[in-house]
Structure 1
Amino acid sequence: MNQHIAIDIGASSGRVVAASLAAGQLHLREIHRFKNDFTEKDGHMYWDIEYLSQEIVKGLQLAKQQGIEACTLGIDTWAVDYVLLDDAGSRMHEVYAYRDHRTEDVPDRLHQRISREIVYAKTGIQEQRFNTLYQLFAHGPNELSRASSILLVPDYLYYRLSGRRMNERTNASTTQLLNVKTGDFDEDLLGLLQLRKDQFASLQEPGEFLGSILPDLVHAHRLPDCQLVVVPTHDTASAVVGVPIQINRPWAYLSSGTWSLLGVERDRPIDTLEAMRCNYTNEWGAYGTYRFLKNIMGMWMIQEVRRELGEEHSYAELTELASLVPAYRSLVPCNAARFLSPKRMILEMQRFCQESGQPVPMSPGELARCIFDSLALTYYNAMQELNRLHGQVIEVLHIVGGGSQNALLCQLTADVLEIEVQAGPSESTALGNIAVQMISSKVLPSLQEARRCIAHAFPPVVYMPQGMPDRESVLQRWQQVQDVTTQ
């Protein structure tokens, strides 16, 4: 079978992408694109999971109308968010969005019962207040005890298509409930939440076949004959599969979307106390790998600024306006909790700059420049830590995902990090999703060959360091900005 469809859904948009391989050339085309966002109801933030299911069906209908009669199909989304199912297999609750405020004090409450050090030693997963561990703790045991199954968002979308329940391993690792040594759910952490292991489905590896779409669904909506392949359902895991590695030098990746994930691909975790203190995580990847990475706020900030400006400027226009503003004029600590889900992002940025004695960004260009400069400097900090923890000096950074199209940010990153940056492809997540389908279908023989095909079809844009005026002064000011955050 040489038709493959990736359902790739991020925090701000989703897409249905088709691919095929002909004469060694990978061909990709977008069939359907749709918006995604959380909504506020009764003081909480929720995903519209039924809308996402409907958009998947709509995309598959369009695929058939465009001549795809049979294909493989894989689904990836963001991590940590989940669906509770009752005994009848029906959804019990709206699906909380990870930016919901209900978990703000949960880590401190949970760690009164078990230390942060023990949890990290068990799981190798960084502490973030929206991790599934903390979200489930926020429910309370009575509500959780009524759940027959707990599925992460992509697992649930597979379930809606197939009727089969599973927990895919790369995404399951982000729950902070899997034991990094045993490779299974940790009994102590389940006990802390008063959960049973049988409330989770069996763990599935990327590359396994799940079966066909439900016949009734196919007939009712006139869908293609789709064989479901379990891909790396965590979008970052798929994005890393889609990194076009063609070098023998030490490399790292930066998956740049709503979040920026900077890390390396390893065959074993780094679960030391120093890694924990630096807030690095060991998420599981495809084919027995680990993604040792750090979460950075990413393009969320510019997405929010654009939204608050009434979307009167495109992202390309905001980048162009930013390029006209003096560099490193105003800086903000992107990973500070105040920027995770503020009511008004622009006002929060302006308040921080005023509090820290910096020029207050006012114009669209100044706001965008503040974000891009601050992101590049945040990448610098993370890379310094990564080189030390990984024990190898990174020489090439691959930036993939939507942020790879931002030439200003890519050049800033090369300049600040003083290393070569290779940018692209922007659709690395969909490509990684499809690569696993092709390997499972024996269209491609290996991950190495899949990455070669991706590099050939989507050659990256190379950015070399061009120097950074007043480097030491900028880094000193950046340290002062971070010191303000910790006071």
Structure 2
Amino acid sequence: MTKNYVAVDIGASSGRLMLSQLIDGKITLKEIHRFKNGFTFQEGHDHWDIDHLLKEIILGLAKLKEQGIDECILGIDTWAVDYCLVDAQGKLLAQPVAYRDARTNEAIKKFSENYSLDRLYTRTGIQLQPFNTLFQLFVEDRSLLDKADKLLLIPDYLGYQLTGKMVTEKTNASTTQLLNVHTKDWDEELLEYLHLSKSLFAPLVDAGTTLGALQLEKFGDYDLPKTQVINVASHDTASAIIGTPGQSTNWAYLSSGTWSLLGVESKVENISREAFLANYTNEWGAHNTIRFLKNIMGMWLIQEVAREDNYAHSYAELAQMASETPAFSQLVDVNEVAFLNPTSMTQTFQAYCQKTQQKVPTTLAEVARCVYDNLALCYAFELEQLMKLTQTQGKVDCLHIVGGGSNNAFLNQLTADVAQMKVMAGPGEATALGNIMMQMLNQGEFDSIQTARKVLANSFDYAIYLPQKNYDDVLVKYRELITKK
């Protein structure tokens, strides 16, 4: 009997339910339900509407039942670091604050006044980002924390609402910067520094374990399929890496979405001084792997440019316009905090160029070109850093670009040219597929992630980009820009 697998994949701007089956040795994928997501500014902070997300999951399951599917298996992945606080009765105390909220802008600086950032890295292996859960909790409303019985990360809270069971899935938990890389448990020294108890957190569980059955009686107003919920790799990046069809010995990945995550899959953490200074992170992956990677600002930059243009042009049109505009007229460090959540992304790029006495991009095409050029430069630079840190210089033979950004042929080719490396693009739905693959592993469809990846590679088409131009002179200047900071 063919089983029905459902990936609930929720990002910062949208979410969807994707149906998958394993038929004739190939993985199928079909969108069932799509919905919008986003944060709104309320009572002084940017908040997510978690109740809206739960309702949309239920609506998606109802659609599935309408299509004649009576039973399914389901997994949830979302973005990382954000959380819900619930009281002893399991009631939500407040809508979760979004990681782009300004409350943590000075958190790292204040935290480090009494705690060494070097020590923090050697204990957790997680890169410094002002929005990490650690820093969010450092500035959290103390009165709210005092009322809280449990802290649940976003996918764990949604899983709790569906099944009534509270857990903390490890791949996502590692992004909190509160897990100790040596003990593989919550870091009690950090919890003490934050004046928090370990009891605030639900038990840690591995990706691939069973959470429980959907509480059909709780959602009695809907006709829903009988659903078994699995703890997949609930951090969307962790799922995306599982859904990367890497087959060679030495490959790197670029999970390209709102954020760009560039790294390698490893069996051991790297908490060296060099890794700390380069701001690389050691997030936990499924099956005891480490995602050694760098967070890069990503497609958020062009998404905001498009939004400010009232979406008058598609992303494909923006890429085409950029391709017809002179290349590398500006060098920009896209990872500067100014680009995290500006009032206007376009004006922020213009202000940066004006401040650094460069040609100011004025047209939409010039701004788009500036975005794409500097993303490609950042990818190439960080690939160099990655290979130095992992001692794989000259050995990495392919960069797998997955996620929504893998559909951007212009940026893919530009990346291949600047990095002078083969780029393999796809699948665009790597996150949903990684989610599905963990469910299939739970159900015994595959004996290992490696086997699952081979099936994945044979189930979808991919685009190959080989270097066509050489931009070494520009990359030299970009290195100088970044390294002198």
Shared fold, TM over 0.5? yes
Q: Secondary structure at the match of 1:32?
A: strand
Aligned partners of 1:74, 1:217: CA distance in 2, in Å? 19
Contact 1:244–1:455 (CA<8 Å) still a contact in 2? Answer: yes
1:82-231 correspondence to structure 2 within 5 Å:
82-231=83-232
Which letter maps to 2:257?
G
1:444 to 2:446 alignment: yes
Q: Secondary structure at the match of 1:221?
A: coil
Q: Does the C-alpha gap of structure 1 residues 218 and 54 become closer, same or farther in structure 2, counting only changes over 3 Å?
A: closer
2:422 paired residue number: 420
Q: Secondary structure at the match of 2:301?
A: helix
Aligned partners of 1:427, 1:35: CA distance in 2, in Å? 17
Aligned partners of 2:133, 2:285: CA distance in 1, in Å? 18
- How far residue 444 of structure 1 moved from its aligned partner, in angstroms, is 2.1
| Deviations 1:443-481 (CA, angstroms, capped at 9, x unpaired) | 222211211111111132110111225x31x12442454
1:81-480 correspondence to structure 2 within 5 Å:
81-248=82-249, 250-393=250-393, 394-469=396-471, 471-472=472-473, 474-479=474-479
Q: Secondary structure at the match of 1:127?
A: coil
Aligned partners of 1:246, 1:456: CA distance in 2, in Å? 11
Aligned partners of 1:480, 1:210: CA distance in 2, in Å? 49
Which letter maps to 2:94?
H
- How far residue 217 of structure 1 moved from its aligned partner, in angstroms, is 3.1
2:20 paired residue number: 19
Contact 2:76–2:155 (CA<8 Å) still a contact in 1? Answer: yes
Contact 1:19–1:434 (CA<8 Å) still a contact in 2? Answer: yes
Aligned-pair identity (%): 49
Contact 2:230–2:439 (CA<8 Å) still a contact in 1? Answer: yes
Contact 1:141–1:194 (CA<8 Å) still a contact in 2? Answer: no
- How far residue 367 of structure 1 moved from its aligned partner, in angstroms, is 1.0
1:57 paired residue number: 58
Q: Secondary structure at the match of 2:220?
A: helix
- How far residue 330 of structure 1 moved from its aligned partner, in angstroms, is 2.2
- How far residue 434 of structure 1 moved from its aligned partner, in angstroms, is 0.1
Q: Answer with 129-138 or 220-229: which moved more.
A: 220-229
Q: Which runs of 5 or more structure 1 residues have no equivalent in the other structure?
A: none
- How far residue 52 of structure 1 moved from its aligned partner, in angstroms, is 0.7
Contact 1:356–1:481 (CA<8 Å) still a contact in 2? Answer: no
| Deviations 1:100-146 (CA, angstroms, capped at 9, x unpaired) | 00011111111112100111111000010000000001015443222
Structure 1 stretches of 4+ moved >6 Å: none
Which letter maps to 1:361?
P
Count of matched residue positions in the alignment of Structure 1 and Structure 2: 482
Contact 1:79–1:234 (CA<8 Å) still a contact in 2? Answer: yes
Aligned partners of 2:331, 2:31: CA distance in 1, in Å? 37
Aligned partners of 2:39, 2:199: CA distance in 1, in Å? 30
Contact 2:418–2:475 (CA<8 Å) still a contact in 1? Answer: no
Q: Answer with 210-219 or 33-42: which moved more.
A: 210-219
Q: Does the C-alpha gap of structure 1 residues 245 and 476 become closer, same or farther in structure 2, counting only changes over 3 Å?
A: closer
- TM value normalised by structure 2: 0.97
Q: Secondary structure at the match of 1:376?
A: helix
Q: Secondary structure at the match of 2:293?
A: strand
Q: Secondary structure at the match of 1:96?
A: coil
What value does the CA root-mean-square deviation take over the aligned residues?
A: 1.3
Aligned partners of 1:83, 1:346: CA distance in 2, in Å? 33
Which letter maps to 1:297?
M
- TM value normalised by structure 1: 0.97
